[in-house]
Amino acid sequence: MLATIYILFLAGAQSGIFNDVGKIRTFTVAVVGVGGVGSVTAEMLTRCGIGKLLLFDYDKVELANMNRLFFQPHQAGLSKVEAAEHTLRNINPDVSFETHNYNITTMENFTHFMDRISQGGLEEGKPVDLVLSCVDNFEARMAINTACNELGQIWMESGVSENAVSGHIQLIIPGETACFACAPPLVVAANIDEKTLKREGVCAASLPTTMGVVAGLLVQNVLKYLLKFGTVSYYLGYNAMQDFFPSMAMKANPQCNDRHCRRQQEEYKKKEVEQPKVEVVEEEEEVVHEDNEWGIELVSEVTDAELQAASGTVPDLPEGITVAYTIPAEVTSGDTVEETEQSLEDLMAQMRKL
Ligand SMILES: [Zn+2]
């Protein structure tokens, strides 16, 4: 059966755009969070014939989530990783699966998580090729960020906003591009209040459409990265309200709070000096003007200095993109979402005064 699936994928690959598509089966990808985005991501990779998938999640399948893709009502009550593995094995039995039904943010699990992404490759003892963050909360993203910075593991972050009408993907190369602690996550600018954080007690909206789009963009970039074709987006936003897709690249912040990020930056600098310079192709996003026909507006006209004074580090952003929230200057791992929101409120208050 696999041969059939695989041939289909190969047949789709005869356009000459990408070479050596068979290499897909040599790669291992870890998917952290097997929810609305992660489950679809895992299915796409399985159907493409990925070599091995590591799945991490501690939730159970719920009937309340059946407006999302992938899981089915009869799986309600099963752990997401168990249900996902069962479905995915039936789709493509040639993929190797490794599942972990735990929360990666606890001390003990975090150590095990680090161990598995650094040792759990197709060939045991080798690291995975890519880690994908498909989680829905700040704490889990920070845990992935910490692990990947320490290991120098390349990863991709993804997210869908709480109001379900925007999302993003981001490629993070430790030491080279901004990590999750270097700069706040970015969202598409629009005149709606956007947050990528899931707040306690708040019932977030969810749309299978937005999740499907974000999973599609994520896996598209995973395939481009692994099979080396096209240009992998460093940051790609999606705003469903205007069908607006801003992209950008951000360098690592030398003042990042994560010491492993700073260490990776030093190592990257050394490597840069040693190796002949390879030109990084950055796609220039066409500037979208304030009076554009889609009605996309900048959030404010405040200067970078004013933004910084109001809310800590804010990256230099092209038009059309704004931050979802800012990291307070004195950020610690124990920071709560409330504190983060406070700084967003400060920022908004500052903007209203102008
Ligand atoms: Zn950093």
CA of 149 to the centre of ligand 1 (A): 8
CA of 273 to the centre of ligand 1 (A): 21
Query: Within a domain: residue 351?
Result: no
Query: Within a domain: residue 299?
Result: no
Mean pLDDT, rounded, for 101-127: 97
CA of 186 to the centre of ligand 1 (A): 14
Look up the CATH number of the domain holding residue 51.
3.40.50.720
Note down the domain range covering 46: 23-274
Q: Can you say whether residue 333 is alpha, beta or left, with left for phi > 0 and alpha for psi between -120 and 50 degrees?
A: alpha
* Stronger pLDDT, 137 or 275, i.e. the higher one: 137
Residue type, 255: Q
CA of 82 to the centre of ligand 1 (A): 33
* Stronger pLDDT, 289 or 123, i.e. the higher one: 123
Mean pLDDT, rounded, for 304-318: 53
CA of 341 to the centre of ligand 1 (A): 21
Residues of the chain with pLDDT > 70, as a percent, come to: 67
CA of 197 to the centre of ligand 1 (A): 19
Residues of the chain with pLDDT > 90, as a percent, come to: 57
Q: Give, in degrees to the nearest 5, the angle at Cα 308 between 304 and 311.
A: 135
Query: Within a domain: residue 100?
Result: yes
Q: Reply yes or no on whether the pLDDT at 7 is more than 80.
A: no
Q: Are 45 and 97 in contact (CB under 8 A)?
A: no
**Could you say which of 48, 179, 203, 256 is catalytic?**
203
Q: Reply yes or no on whether the pLDDT at 182 is more than 70.
A: yes
Query: Within a domain: residue 224?
Result: yes
Query: Within a domain: residue 309?
Result: no
203 assigned to active site: yes
The predicted structure's pLDDT at residue 339: 39
Q: Reply yes or no on whether the pLDDT at 167 is more than 80.
A: yes
- For the entire predicted model, the pTM comes to 0.75
Q: pLDDT confidence of 337, banded at 50, 70, 90?
A: very low
Ion ligand 1: residues, CB within 5 A, are 179, 181-182, 256, 258, 261
Q: pLDDT confidence of 20, banded at 50, 70, 90?
A: confident
Query: Within a domain: residue 293?
Result: no
Of 17-21, 108-112, 249-253, where does the model show the most confidence?
A: 108-112
Determine which helix (DSSP H) or strand (DSSP E) holds 133, and give its type and residue range: strand 130-133
CA of 281 to the centre of ligand 1 (A): 22
The predicted structure's pLDDT at residue 138: 87
Query: Within a domain: residue 280?
Result: no
Query: Within a domain: residue 311?
Result: no
CA of 336 to the centre of ligand 1 (A): 19
The predicted structure's pLDDT at residue 189: 37
pLDDT digits (tens, 9 = 90+) for 274-307: 877 666 566 555 554 444 444 444 344 444 454 4
- Show Cβ contacts of residue 238 under 8 Å, excluding neighbours closer than 6 positions: 166, 167, 168, 188, 210, 213, 214, 217, 244, 245
Work out how many domains the chain is built from and give that number. 1
The DSSP bridge pattern shows strands 166-172 and 235-239 to be antiparallel
pLDDT digits (tens, 9 = 90+) for 214-263: 999 999 999 999 999 999 999 999 999 999 999 988 899 999 999 999 99
